[in-house]
Every structure is written in structure tokens, then in C-alpha cells.
């Protein structure tokens, strides 16, 4: 069982282009104590990824006509862990072998998976 304080003090970037899914992820992370920066497109996510307090990312890979590859590389270059929360597996994920992949939809495991990024 994940305690509500497991993500206390963590700032998490959520990149998700589906508004209801983004709201759900944001709420669950906030309930676990995290501060959340949310973006639905690459440009905003790239700006948020520069935040000095950023701790981790939860990224959907498919973002309409583009994908989250630039965000992944920025987080890697900043040594910020992230995971994919996506509807399907992509061969592109092989570029980021340290990034766990959670398949949508899931009510179980999101908070524990994000908390595990810090272990």
C-alpha cells in the first residue's frame, strides 16, 4: 500500500494529451503528496522540464501528431528519472531502457511506480 506521503516534496512532470487522463494522473500524484506540472504538448513540456525542482516525469509517448522523444532526451540529459504511461508499446522505448512502462488504463501501480523511480 502506497502512503499518501510517498511523493511528498517531489515535483513530477506529467505529459498527457488526453485531458481526463491528465486530470486523473495529476489528482493521484497530488494525493500522494507530489507537486505536479502538467502539459499536453511538447512545447510546454519542454519548458516545464527545465524547472529546477523537477524530480521525475510521467510521460505519454503518443502526443497527437508528435511524440515525447524530445522530452525524454531532455530529462535524460538532466538525469531526471521518468516512466511511460502509455496505451501501447513502441520500439522507441529501447532508447530509454531505464524508463519503466505502464500500460493504460491502470488504477494500480502508478504511484508505486513513480515512487520506485527514487529508490
* Predicted confidence band of residue 2 (pLDDT cuts 50, 70, 90): very low
Chain CA centroid to CA 54, Å: 11
The pLDDT, as a whole number, for residue 1 is 45
**Taking the model in full, what pTM does it have?**
0.92
Choosing among 3.40.50.10880, 3.30.1490.20, 3.40.250.10, 3.40.50.2300, the CATH entry for 11-116 is 3.40.50.2300
Residue with cell 529546477: 52
Tell me the per-residue pLDDT of 36-87, one tens digit each, with 9 for 90 and over: 999 999 999 999 999 999 999 999 999 989 999 999 999 999 999 999 999 8
The pLDDT, as a whole number, for residue 88 is 85
Is residue 49 within 8 A of residue 22, CB to CB? The reply is no
The pLDDT, as a whole number, for residue 5 is 57
Is residue 51 within 8 A of residue 76, CB to CB? The reply is no
Calculated CA dihedral for residues 24, 53, 111, 82, nearest 10 degrees: 100
Q: Which of 14, 104, 7 shows the shortest CA–CA distance to 57?
A: 14
> In percent, how much of the chain has pLDDT > 70?
95
Domain residue ranges in the chain: 11-116
Amino acid at each position: 500500500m502506497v502512503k499518501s506521503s510517498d511523493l511528498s516534496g517531489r515535483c513530477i512532470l506529467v505529459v498527457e494529451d488526453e485531458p481526463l487522463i491528465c486530470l486523473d494522473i495529476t489528482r493521484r500524484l497530488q494525493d500522494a503528496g507530489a507537486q505536479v506540472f502538467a502539459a499536453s504538448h511538447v512545447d510546454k513540456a519542454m519548458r516545464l522540464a527545465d524547472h529546477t525542482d523537477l524530480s521525475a516525469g510521467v510521460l505519454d509517448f503518443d502526443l497527437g501528431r508528435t511524440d515525447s522523444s524530445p522530452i525524454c532526451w531532455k530529462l535524460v540529459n538532466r538525469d531526471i528519472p521518468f516512466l511511460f504511461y502509455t496505451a501501447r508499446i513502441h520500439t522507441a522505448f529501447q532508447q530509454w531502457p531505464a524508463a519503466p512502462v505502464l500500460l493504460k488504463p491502470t488504477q494500480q501501480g502508478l504511484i508505486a511506480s513513480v515512487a520506485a523511480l527514487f529508490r
